[in-house]
Each structure stands twice: as structure tokens, then as C-alpha cells.
Chain A
Amino acid sequence: MLRLESCHIQNGAFTVQADLQIKAGSKVAVIGPSGGGKSTLVEAIAGFLPLTQGRILWRDMDLTEMAPGKRPVAMLFQDGNLFPHLTVAQNAGLGLRANLQLSSQEQAQVLRALQRVGLGDLAERKPAALSGGQQSRVALARVLLQQRDLLLLDEPFAALGPALKAEMLDLVAEIACETHATVLMVSHDPKDARRIADQVILVADGIAHAPLATADLLDNPPPALKAYLG
């Protein structure tokens, strides 16, 4: 269970309040109008924004004061998820060791992860030589290697076309199943939520609402969501 206990998240002059729980193993979409605080919520869970009040707990572990890299969190950002000067294998290998001193066993593990996402023969390429979809796959191979309990996605596939995006979301769902990860996915598209999320958190006007079942919420939207969906 991921618990946000009466959290106040400060992002410049803007505050987001959250008091909610997410069941372990679920896939949750975070939707709402832009500027409403979706990214702020996710970045606080990842440890990039401090809380002015409240705490964040994963199972029995208090994450509130933990450094981002020490949290049981893997995160994909909107862009810049790969280092352009590192090879595909190195970018993925960062999920195992930050200093890239990989044993031969770990190197084999990296290769398997790349094969899993369909990039086995591109291991020595640099990201610039890859298509947008392939770059996303490298980042997902890294997530696979990181083996973290929580996977946070801050619209990493926003630049991809609809078909490619759907493909990536399916891959995310598969990887989450394989690693038993709990997924939080920021999106501005309700279709993404319907595709892979069991639940939806609505973030609007600085308040993150408790998660509700996807179909229920999207079929009978409350006024704030209705205003956003149009």
C-alpha cells in the first residue's frame, strides 16, 4: 500500500494537497487539467519536491525524508530519459549499477532485458541512432532492471503517435506484471487510463482526490472532471 497522509506538496508558490492510498500492484492513472498538479504529485512521490506537511509511506517504510535514488521508485520523465553519450546497453545498465561497473553476469542480465523489449541487437547503438519508440523501449528495459516496487510515468510517451503510444502502454502493463510493480501514470488522455489503469486519481485545483475505479469515474464524471473532459 502506498499511503500519502495529509500531504502538502510545495512547488514554488503552488501547493498540492493529497490524502490518499493506493493498493499495491494496482495501475493508477493520474489525470486532470494541465497546471492542476499532476506532475507535482508524482514528483513528490519520487522525492524531487519536499513536503511541507504530512508523510509518504510505502508498506511500512517512511519515504518522506529519503533521497530520490534510495526510494523504491523507478521514474520515466516526459523527455530526456536517456543519456545521449551512453550506449543503449549502458543506459539500460544504469538500472543495475549507477557507476556502470557491471559484472559479466549483470551484463548478460542487461542483454536479456534489452531482448525482452525487442532491442537485443541494438545494444551498442547510441540513442540518437534510435527511433522515438525504440528510445522508449530502452528506458523500459532499464525499468525492468531496476526492479523497483513503484513505477511512475510522467507522460513519457506524449511525443509518440497514437499506435506507438498504445504499444508502449501495453509494454508498461506487461513489465509491471513481471516486476509486480505498482504503476502511477500521469496522462491527459482518458483513453490511456481506460487502456491500462484499474483506477484513476483526479488532480485539479491543487487537490489530488482519492483513486476511483476507472470505468465508474470516466462514465459518471464528477463536475471537476466533467469540466476537464468537456
Chain B
Amino acid sequence: MARRAQPISALPGAGAALVVAALIFGTLAAVALRAEAGRGFGSSDWAALRFTLTQAGLSATLSVALAIGLARALARRRFFGRSVLIALLGAPFILPVIVAILGLLAVFGRAGWVSQALGLFGYEPLQIYGLHGVVLAHVFFNLPLATRLILQGWQEIPAERFRLAAQLNAGPRAIWQLLEAPMLLRVVPGALAVVFAICLSSFAVALTLGGGPRATTIELAIYQAFRFDFDLGRAALLSGVQLVLTGLAAFVALRVSAADGVGTGLDRALRRWDGDTGLARGLDAFWILSAALFLMLPLAAVVASGASGLFLLKPNVWMAALTSVLVSGLSTVVLLLLALPMAASVALGRSAMIEVAGILGLAASPLVIGTGLFIVIYPIADPFSLALPVTALVNAVMALPFALRILVPRAREVMARYGKLSLSLDMAGGPFLWRVFLPRMRAQVGFAAGLAAALSMGDLGVITLFADPEVATLPLQIYRLMGAYQMQAAAGAALLLLGLSMGAFWILDRGGRWHAEA
């Protein structure tokens, strides 16, 4: 009997999924074979595990708790700049971690604005390094994400319910009990799990603000075992632990979370009839203003202190910037070569295994993949000479889950709408790919490419494992400048990196939507 006709082959997507799975499981196997289980877990390893769980738990709880207040305020107020603020809540996703950390140091550091203000009143300056610094940075990154997740929950309460509540003359308490509390019960566990999972595997924050026996995460311990002791066995053992942790957390997060916070329509303001008292207004204004300050001050600090540093940049910083642009470009190309065939295959209904391969990146830790790649490459080539391609590849795999979330729904739509027409016009294969699929996917491809480019541009992860002193991406160069206490130069370079990341995103995203018909 005739097979169900398809306008495009599902095979390349299956191949791409296989490459991703091989990379993740292959490096995992390499790590596992190298791990010396017999030696067991040392006391410093236990400390790292405890610290990892503590900081992730605290970061998740704080981020989500604050996000509930902020989301509630945003959900029931309409004000000038509301949609801009909500759009900005999406920005930390593509904000280079190292840039945010420089900004947080400028605001909350020993010599930062807050410390200076405290000094005026005779107080001690703030101490940002250690647990609270790590948590502060994680809240900075994840408060916006958690807010978007929870705001989505608020927006999904049908407007009719609020109208009904107003009709029944329900007060704030009743609205809370009837509408808001049940929604939060549904949404908050997912938000907690997502933020917890993200904080488990965050590396750059721990690298810059943590450290020492009391503030070392597992990712950081992998890096140290690898970089300082060159103890591959220990790095492998820690990688195994990290993999179990992130795998479990990602699994839980995917199970309990429905929303992804990437969706649009969050700037739609509901008509509400409650919360009109002066107290409620004041409280909401307080939430919104303090959140806006907390999120924008560090960025303002980077721009302010970086602007003067921008003219003092040394050639090696420009070199690093060029390197970052190349790595980011390569990473984006690799991402598209993986994600587009996979999205097409998923849209054709060959989904299960390919979708699983796509989200593997959420569970994998870049440092673990990096360690595995090092172990695999070491016997056959000099891993340090491959630092940049490896970084680009790992960045692409990390961006893959997000890219698929953007591409797959549109790919499904294109197949459903134009699949039969294309088949009946005998366009299967190349003509469908070039004349229908890619042109129809342009906006989504641009968005996904923009995210991938920005993520790769700002990444400070696997490059730290592989780089020798001669090679650096811009984030690594900034980290080195910070290590040498050249804060002015670091701030200038950070401003450059911020511009490059946002610029890459803007150009690719715009390019995708330029002259695109609906």
C-alpha cells in the first residue's frame, strides 16, 4: 500500500538527532569510563554538592517569591512603559552572565554604589562574594524568567472570570481564593523547578562570585579538578554527579511546567475591577519600581562605567571580540544545521525520539560535555587547539532545546498548511525546502538564530576548560581582566560584549522578519 506521502524527508532530522545524542551520551560514556568510583566522594566534593543544592534552592525560592508579587502587580496595573518593562523581562535570557556580574559588582560590590551610600552613614561596605552573591546574581537572572512564567498564569485566567468576580462583588480576598491561589498552585511548582534546574548548572556565576571551600558548586569543582589539578578521574566523577542532578531536575521541571515564558501576548493588559484601593496601588507601584531598579541599575552601571573604558581597550580585547564573533557565527550555523532538519522531522510526525534528543541539552551540563570531549580528543589531538570549534559546538547543543521550541510549532503549521499543496505540485524535496519551508520559517529561523548567536557570544563555560593563554573569547577575556583587577578595562570590554550580543540578536531577529509576509 502507498506510504503516506511527505513533502520532505525525515531522515536528515533523524541524523541530526543522532549526532546530538551521540555527542551527549558519547561524552557521558567517556566520562563514566574515566570516573574512579572506587575512590569515592571526598569531603570537599560533599561540600560542593551541599552548596550546589543550597544555592539553587535559595535562588529558586527567592526568585519565585519575589516574582509572585511582581507578576501580580504587573497583571493588574496598566501604566506607561508596561510593555517595555515586560519585554525587558525577556532580555536576561540573552544577557551575557559576565556583563550582569560586572553590573552587580558595580552596584552591590565592596566599592559599589550601595556600599558607598552605606559608607556615608558609617556602615560597613557590602560583601558580595560567597553564597549571597551567587544567590543575588541568580535572582537577578531568574526573577524576570519566573515573573514571565507566573504572569503567563495570570494572563491565562479568562477575562470572563474577572468580570464574573466583579459582578459578584468579590473583594481582594475572594478573588485571591477563587482565581489567583488555584492558578498559583498550578504555576508556581513549575517555575520553582525551572529556576532550580537552571541554577544547578550555572557555572559563570559561581566562577566569578563563588569559589573557596565554602562556595564551590559542582560545576566549579569540575572546572577546578580539570584546570588546576588536571585530575580527570575526579572531574569525571563530579561530572557523573552533576549529570544525575541536572537530569533529575530537568525531568521534574519538564513534568511540572506547562508554560515556557517564551510566549508572546504577555503585554496584553486585562481589564480588572479589583485592587483599586490606595494601599493596593501603592504596594503594586512599590513592587514594580523596585524590580525595575533592581534589574536596570546593574545594566546602567555597566553602561556608565564601560563607556569610558571603551576607548582604552587593548588590542587583545579586540582580538577576543573578533574570536567571539567567529565562534558565535559558527555556533549559529551549527545550531541551524541541527535544529532545522530536526524541526522538520518533528513536524512530519517522526517526533518522539527526535524531540527527546532535542531536550537532552537541557539536562546536559556544558562542562560535562566539555570534559567528555576533552577525554575523547586528548589521545588523538591537542584539545587546546580545538578550543574554539568545541565551544561553538557545545554552545549550539545548549541552544538547541530553545531553538526547537521556537521552530517546531511553525514547522508544524507550514507542513499542515502547505504540505498537500506542495505535494500536488510535485515540489517534494529541494523545491519544497527552498521555495516553501525556509521562506515560511524565516521569522522563526531569525529568532532562533538570534538567540543562539547571543547565547554563544556571551557564554563563559566550556571555553574556560579548553583555552590556553593565547586564545580567549570576549567573556573569558573579561574574566581575565577582572582577575587582574583591571575593572575599568573589564567594564569597557563588558559594554562591547553587551553591544555584540544584543546586536547579533537584533540583526538576526530583524533579518528574519524583514519584508516577511504573514
A interface residues, Cβ below 8 angstroms from B: 43, 46-48, 50-52, 64-70, 73-75, 77, 80-81, 83-86, 94-95, 98-100, 126, 128, 142, 146
Q: Which residues of A contact B430 (CB under 8 A)?
A: 99
A50 touches B2 (CB 8 A): yes
What are 23 A-B contacts with C-beta separation under 8 Å?
A: A46-B424, A47-B424, A48-B423, A50-B1, A50-B2, A50-B3, A52-B1, A68-B420, A69-B423, A69-B427, A73-B424, A80-B417, A80-B418, A83-B421, A83-B440, A86-B435, A94-B427, A95-B425, A98-B427, A98-B435, A99-B427, A100-B435, A128-B517
A68 touches B424 (CB 8 A): yes
Q: B418 is contacted by which of A50, A73, A83, A126 (Cβ under 8 Å)?
A: A83
Question: Quick one: closest B residue to A126, CB to CB?
Answer: B517
B4 touches A50 (CB 8 A): yes
A66 to B5, CA, bound (A): 9
Q: B5 is contacted by which of A68, A75, A84, A99 (Cβ under 8 Å)?
A: A68
Q: Which residues of B contact A51 (CB under 8 A)?
A: 1-2
Q: Nearest-CB distance from A159 to chain B (Å)?
A: 15
Which of B421, B428, B434 has the largest number of chain A CB atoms within 10 A? B421
A84 to B436, CA, bound (A): 10
B424 touches A85 (CB 8 A): no
Q: Which residues of chain B from 407 to 421 have a CB within 8 Å of any chain A CB?
A: 417-418, 420-421
Q: Nearest-CB distance from B374 to chain A (Å)?
A: 45
Q: Does B84 contact A (CB under 8 A)?
A: no
B1 touches A69 (CB 8 A): no
A74 to B424, CA, bound (A): 7
Q: Does B124 contact A (CB under 8 A)?
A: no
Q: Does B518 contact A (CB under 8 A)?
A: yes
**Nearest 9 pairs between A and B by C-beta?**
A69-B426, A68-B423, A98-B427, A98-B431, A50-B2, A99-B431, A85-B439, A75-B424, A84-B517
A85 touches B517 (CB 8 A): yes
Question: Quick one: closest B residue to A139, CB to CB?
Answer: B421
Q: Which residues of A contact B418 (CB under 8 A)?
A: 80, 83
Question: Quick one: closest B residue to A128, CB to CB?
Answer: B517
Q: Which residues of chain B from 1 to 15 have a CB within 8 Å of any chain A CB?
A: 1-5
A36 to B5, CA, bound (A): 24
B435 touches A128 (CB 8 A): no
A69 touches B435 (CB 8 A): no
Q: Which residues of A contact B440 (CB under 8 A)?
A: 83, 85
A99 touches B435 (CB 8 A): yes
A193 to B423, CA, bound (A): 28
Q: A67 is contacted by which of B5, B421, B431, B516 (Cβ under 8 Å)?
A: B5
Q: Which residues of A contact B428 (CB under 8 A)?
A: 67, 69
A46 to B422, CA, bound (A): 12
B435 touches A83 (CB 8 A): yes
A48 to B434, CA, bound (A): 22
Question: Quick one: closest B residue to A90, CB to CB?
Answer: B435
A128 touches B518 (CB 8 A): yes
Q: Residues 435-452 of chain B: 1 if any A CB is under 8 Å from the residue's CB, otherwise 0? A: 110011000000000000
A128 to B418, CA, bound (A): 16
